[in-house]
Amino acid sequence: MDEFSTNRNDKRGLPFGFRRKPLDIRMEEENWKEVESAIRQLETSSAGTAGAPVRIVRGKWLVKVMAAAAAVAALVIGLWWVSTRTGHPEEMAVIRTGYGEVKNIHLPDSSMVVLNANSSLRIPSSWTEAAGRQVWLDGEAYFQVQKKPSTVQKFVVHTKEVDVEVLGTKFNVNTRRQRAIVSLEEGKVRLTMNGVVSSVLEKKAALVMRPGQVAEVDEDLQAKVNEDKDVAVRSGWSRHEFHFDHTSLGEIARLVQDTYGYEMVVEDSAMLEKQISDAGGVRVSDVHDLVKVLMVASGFHMDIREKKIYVTKH
Amino acid sequence: MLTVEGDTNAFRSIHGELFGGLFDYALKLLQDAQQADDAVQELFVRIWVKRAAIGPLQKVKAYFFTALRRQALNQLRNRQSRELRIGMMPRPDIEFSPEEIVVRNEEQLNLQSRIAAVLNELPKRQKEVIYLHYFEEMDYTQIAEVMGIHYQSVLNLTQKALRQLRTADLPGVLLALSALYIASKGMR
């Protein structure tokens, strides 16, 4: 057996790992725009571009066309395709993220929402004085809401389990796995429980939260409130940060599933109890980076194949 | 399977998929972000122009990385033509930074700097093999193609690099690397 076969199992022998610095997605987009405009230039200039030497000169494209005939056409850098806006007004705008995707959304009132992977946010296409500021969330998002004078409607985030009513705050709402977890960093929010009211309760229960509190509401609408000294960690995903503090691998597996859609398969279920901690938070740009860090932190070997992560002891 | 033929949509997908790796590699080769960005742009436009001649690619990634390496080294040679003898291709001198190293949290974090320093002391070709193998996750066949060397040379360079890491002064890491070295020798 050739020890240097083309699989990369020899990587597991290294007691340290490598991590690529995360790249800003805008960089790729801007780079592509330049490539595209240069290609357009080539297509619209005179025939015979095969073999044309191409060079960049300090950010400007310099294309020398070697065709014997025809002068170089005037440089026209137009849009390759027209923007595909449909233009007809919708009742609600829906913004969705796929696995591994995070989107920043600016709302009409200058509030900011960071929508985590595999989530959706529904926003009325225009906010009227009467209807106020309301959005509907399924998944996870981090909100930074602009304070408005009390005469204007408050801002409300509707989820399946709770409605979060806010006044100028920073908070994280996680509605994955049939429960809502609201973590408050700044300001004040009031939670009201949704759904069927049990016969024991007279009216919808309401809960006012203070900064540093984390409320967890399960599908039976039972609420648990805890103090968390480091609430900002819960919105770390919006800054591409993960933080594990004696977090079990099982919980991390759920996180990986929710965020990236990748399933973790372990060779021994006891491995899910393994606790993972990182010294001060890790920044990762994608699931591959995260798995590299997890491998080093857990000491297990992990292999990604077809959207599944196989975890073995060696 | 992605090919270079066809419309810009397919090309766009290739760009999206490979940009991160190509940009990082260009940055390691040219050590300047603006130049690296320009180099990747230029690479894509050149390959687009030649696409009819290239035809369908079996190994898109290796092709792009090989072309980028050649392009970047040409650029470096033009830059340094006064210092180097004419006709001599400069060797890429990759620099690892501590932030790119991940260690177990129980060990000290300054180990990251130490590991990066040891890696950076490796000969240039060994560094490049380490980079392409562990960062870009290329297998030895791909590395041989990108660097334009024999498959056996890639194996030799890897072995030498691991041996160097073993003998370097890295407490804690030393024992684990010894085990790795013995194991790989034993497998022959």
Report pLDDT digits (tens) over A208-255.
888 888 888 887 777 788 888 788 888 888 777 888 888 889 989 988
A79 touches chain B (CB under 8 A): no
Instruction: Give this prediction's pTM.
Output: 0.44
Q: What proportion of chain A, given as a percentage, has pLDDT over 70?
A: 71
- Asked if B116 has any chain A CB less than 8 Å from its own CB, the reply is no
Contact A52 B99 (CB under 8 A): no
Does A82 have pLDDT greater than 50?
no
Collapsing DSSP states into helix, strand and coil, what is residue A190? Answer: strand
Chain B residues 156-175 with CB within 8 Å of chain A:
158, 172-173
A240-312 folds as Phage tail protein beta-alpha-beta fold (3.55.50)
Helix (H) or strand (E) holding A311: strand A308-312
The answer to whether B56 contacts chain A (CB < 8 Å) is: no
Q: Strand pairing partners for A133?
A: A155
CA B25 to chain centre: 6
Looking only at the bridges linking them, the beta strands covering A155-158 and A133-138 are parallel
Residues of chain A positioned with their CB less than 8 A from the CB of B115: 16
A217 bridge partner residues: A180, A223
B40 touches chain A (CB under 8 A): yes
Across chain B, which has 188 residues, the per-10-residue mean pLDDT values are 56 87 94 91 89 68 92 80 55 86 67 87 94 89 93 93 78 49 41
Looking at the complex, report in whole angstroms how far the Cα of residue A198 sits from the nearest Cα belonging to chain B: 47
Determine the pLDDT at residue A22. Answer: 75
Stretch A283-307: mean pLDDT: 87
User: For chain B, which residues make up each domain, given as ranges?
Assistant: 8-79, 101-186
Q: Mean pLDDT over residues A142-165, rounded?
A: 78
What topology does CATH give the domain B101-186? Arc Repressor Mutant, subunit A (1.10.10)
Among A23, A32, A278, beta carbon nearest to B15:
A32
The better pLDDT of the pair A78, B141 is held by B141
Mutate to test the interface with B, among A33, A35, A289 (most CBs of B within 10 A): A35
In chain A, CATH 2.60.120.1440 sits at 92-233
* A59, B11, B50, B94, B133 from B37: Cα distances, Å: 9, 17, 20, 17, 22
Which of B103, B137, B141 is facing A8, going by the closest CB pair?
B137
Beta bridge partners of B91: none
- The reply to whether residue B115 touches residue A49, judged by beta carbons under 8 angstroms, is no
Integer Cα distance of A254 and A250 in angstroms: 6
Q: How far is CA B125 from CA B95, B121, B131, B147, B148, in A?
A: 12, 11, 10, 9, 11
Task: Please check whether residue B2 touches A, CB under 8 A.
Answer: no
- Considering only CB atoms, B42 lies closest to which of A56, A282, A297, namely A56
Domain B8-79 CATH class label: mainly alpha
Judging contacts by C-beta atoms under 8 Å, the chain B residues touching residue A16 are: 101-104, 111-112, 115, 173
Q: Which of B40, B140, B179 is closest, CB to CB, to A6? A: B140
Contact B20 A23 (CB under 8 A): yes
Q: How far is A128 from chain B (nearest CA, A)?
A: 39
Å between B58 CA and nearest CA of chain A: 16
Q: Which of B49, B179, B180 minimises the CB distance to A54?
A: B49
CA distance A186 to A174: 17
User: CATH 3.55.50.30 residue ranges in chain A?
Assistant: 240-312
Per-residue pLDDT at A129: 60
Q: Across chain A, what does the average pLDDT equal?
A: 72
Q: Do B180 and A13 touch (CB under 8 A)?
A: yes
- Give the pLDDT mean for A197-208: 52
Cβ–Cβ contacts within 10 Å for residue A220, how many?
Answer: 13
Q: Candidates 3.90.180.10, 1.20.1280.50, 3.40.50.970, 2.60.120.1440; correct CATH number of A92-233?
A: 2.60.120.1440
Kindly tell me if the per-residue pLDDT of A3 is higher than 80.
Answer: no
Touching check for A28 and chain B: CB below 8 Å? yes
